[in-house]
Amino acid sequence: MEVFLQTLVAGILKGGLYALIGIGMTLIMGVMGIINLAHGQMMMVAMYITYVFFHYIGLDPYATLLISMPSLFLLGVFIQMFLLNPLMKVESILPENQVLMTVGIGMVLTEIARFIFTSNYLSVKTSYSTAAIHIGGISFSVALMIAFIFACSLTVGLFVFLIKTDLGRSIRAVSQDGEAAEIMGINAEQIKIVTMGLGAALVAAAGSLLLPIYYLFPDIGGPFTRKAFVITILGGLGSTVGAIFGGVALGLAEAFGATYIGMDFEDMIGLILFLLVLIFIPGGFKRLTKV
């Protein structure tokens, strides 16, 4: 029973971070209609930024949120402005060009990181990296708890932004019906740029929060990109509430898979879950609740 509860706690805490990754992906998905396969690689860039500031200046990983998020916002804006938006005007046979473009961007980001930092594993060791609080025989990792709290507050902040502000409403409008939004006088191209930046900033936050408890190397992006799209499919494409559900579900599935089946299977669980969802509930969580 204790093992079960411990796994449950670990899964939910991890799920909070996954939700943050998934929300960024699903926002981009909703507004642009494409899956951003450079998502994990963007997170990798944020993690390197965090690492550099920690290593050379000694800045706390959580404080670097203030640096990594704006820088990734700019990276997202740059990618959307100069690479993805011009692609809309290119005539081609295959409509999946944009997805492929994100794959190319991901490769470039990974390789640039490899050039600068080599393939070595890096990590950030803080005083709270391995600390834990014990409640009733179950240990709560301090770093994961902080990350979870940050993730929750960022998510709440995002929701307030999407529901209350003009810009947030415009984003939701474009994601519901791009053409109608344009008729209403919303500059869809600008909204896309902002959304890409926002998605990148969110995943940057996840990266900075994850770094104290994880390790870092250039290829780390790939697995997280896959996690992000599994979360998005689980939650239903373009649904922000669904992404939270999807993130927690994936976190739990991975934790239970690792505990009861074997550590080797951790990555595979998500993929199997992904195929199962495609077969049985193709719309994801969104279809079940209509949120």
Name the residues that contact other proteins, by CB under 8 A. Answer: 34-35, 83, 86-87, 90-97, 99-101, 103-108, 110-112, 114-115, 222, 226, 229-230, 233, 237, 264-265, 267-268, 271-272, 274-275, 278-279, 282
CA gap 28, 35 in Å, rounded: 7
* Rg of the Cα atoms in the chain: 19
Residue 216 DSSP SS3: strand
Identity of the residue, 2 or 91, whose beta carbon is nearer to other proteins in the bound complex:
91
CA gap 277, 283 in Å, rounded: 8
Identity of the residue, 3 or 87, whose beta carbon is nearer to other proteins in the bound complex:
87
* Nearest-approach distance from CB 237 to other proteins, in angstroms: 8
The H or E element containing residue 238 is none
Q: Whose structure tokens read 């507050």?
A: 153
* Nearest-approach distance from CB 27 to other proteins, in angstroms: 16
* Nearest-approach distance from CB 69 to other proteins, in angstroms: 25
Identity of the residue, 168 or 283, whose beta carbon is nearer to other proteins in the bound complex:
283
Own/partner contacts of 250-255, CB < 8 Å, gap of 24 or more, are 250/15, 250/18, 250/22, 251/11, 251/12, 251/13, 251/14, 251/15, 251/16, 251/17, 251/18, 252/8, 252/11, 252/12, 252/15, 253/11, 254/11, 254/14, 255/7, 255/8, 255/10, 255/11, 255/14
Q: Are 51 and 216 within 8 A, CB to CB?
A: yes
Extract the runs of DSSP E, i.e. beta strands, from the chain: 122-123, 132-135, 138-141, 215-216
Identity of the residue, 21 or 105, whose beta carbon is nearer to other proteins in the bound complex:
105
* Nearest-approach distance from CB 100 to other proteins, in angstroms: 6
Identity of the residue, 56 or 280, whose beta carbon is nearer to other proteins in the bound complex:
280
Residue 114 DSSP SS3: helix
* Nearest-approach distance from CB 26 to other proteins, in angstroms: 14
Identity of the residue, 6 or 259, whose beta carbon is nearer to other proteins in the bound complex:
259
Identity of the residue, 16 or 246, whose beta carbon is nearer to other proteins in the bound complex:
246
* Nearest-approach distance from CB 149 to other proteins, in angstroms: 32
* Nearest-approach distance from CB 267 to other proteins, in angstroms: 6
